Structure 1
Amino acid sequence: MTATMMTPAQLARFEARLLAERADAEERLAEFDGVMTEVRIARTDATADDEHDPEGPTMTQEWSQRSAVLADVRAELADVDRAIARIANGSYGVCTNCGKRITVARLDARPTAELCIDCARQAR
């Protein structure tokens, strides 16, 4: 399938999908942020001796895992926000590297894509 200009209907469909993905990511961010607050409080509790608990992960492990998830969600939000901004400024669906059109099929698979498939392969 060759890259062509997207129709207004296609752009509207991608924008709606990106806004839904953003809402989902914001929900997960709020959820994990609340969990991080609980872990932060537990880590500062002087009576908690989690390092010697054979039944579960330590607070340090919990902190590391939750921090990684939060970082992933924040990165996802940033990707979605950049894609929404590209829709607004008219550059959505254009490869940021070579300037060629990104196929609709690629955007269907990855709506936040900034690179065409050829540039994405080269970037690996």
Structure 2
Amino acid sequence: MAPSVPAAVPAHLAELRRLLIADRERTSDRILALSRNFSSIVEAASFAATDDEHDPEGATIAFERSQASALLAAASQRLADVDMALERIAHGNYGSCERCSESIAPKRLLALPAARTCIACAA
């Protein structure tokens, strides 16, 4: 017997899938832009002095590199979350909380299509 999608989800499933696909495209584009930005920061750092502590530009470059790295990691995690949500749709278990197995409220899914937990378990 195939896993079932919670009853409240099918009415919105096509819309949620469309939202996830659009989010995936935006996030992929963001990752590409952030990767380019990170590469340019690393390249700029190669032309700067290697002593970040005593170089006036060193701290700025280190901060920019750290910030770009964190943004890239966050975007990569978001892409993974979206991909997992699309997999759950494909496998028929989208809309079920990963912790308690109860249905995730349709309003929560419309607000956060990649949600893996219901509101109670997310708290």
Regarding TM over 0.5, the answer is yes
Superposition pairs of residues 95-106 of structure 1, within 5 angstroms: 95-106=97-108
Residues 51-78 of structure 1, C-alpha deviation per residue, up to 9 Å, x if partnerless?
Answer: 324xx96210110010010011001001
Does the alignment pair 1:6 with 2:9? yes
Match for residue 52 of structure 1 among 45, 52, 56: 56
> TM-score, structure 1 length as denominator?
0.84
- The alpha carbon displacement at 1:46 in A equals 4.8
Q: Hey, which bits of structure 1, 4+ residues long, moved more than 4 A?
A: 46-50
Match for residue 69 of structure 1 among 68, 71, 95: 71
Is the 8 Å Cα contact of residues 4 and 103 (structure 1) preserved in structure 2?
A: no
- The alpha carbon displacement at 1:4 in A equals 3.5
Q: Among the aligned pairs, what percent are the same residue?
A: 38
- Structure 1 stretches lacking a partner, 5+ long: none
> TM-score, structure 2 length as denominator?
0.85
Match for residue 43 of structure 1 among 45, 67, 70: 45
Question: Per the alignment, in what secondary structure is the counterpart of residue 58 of structure 1?
Answer: helix
Determine the C-alpha separation between the residues in 2 that align with 1:74 and 1:32: 10
- Structure 2 stretches lacking a partner, 5+ long: 1-5
The AA in structure 1 aligned to 2:9 is M
In structure 1, what is the equivalent of residue 80 of structure 2? Answer: 78
